[in-house]
Amino acid sequence: MNELLKEYENWCKGHDWYYNYSDDHRFWIAGEKSVKVGIELEKKLHNAGLEKERVAIWAQYCPWAGEQKVADNG
């Protein structure tokens, strides 16, 4: 697996997908910082032509990925 894809997968594994619901502002700040890292990784993967692989990894770890698929299908 490409090193950038591994880095993105590790980010997905470690990201707090529910940080936005925290009552503790420290967790919210940490989550926002993590999102910025994820966005930068996504840009790099897109520029490297690895968008399809990125989406597959995201779908594996994002808790609401299945909901997105349903929404996309109408």
Section 2-29 average pLDDT = 97
Global confidence as pTM: 0.84
- Would you call 24 helix, strand, or coil by DSSP? coil
Identity at 41, one-letter amino acid code: L
What value does the mean pLDDT of the chain take?
92
pLDDT recorded at residue 70: 46
All residues at 6 or more sequence positions from 40 whose CB lies less than 8 Å from its CB, including other chains = none
Section 2-22 average pLDDT = 97
What are the structural domain ranges in the chain? 3-72
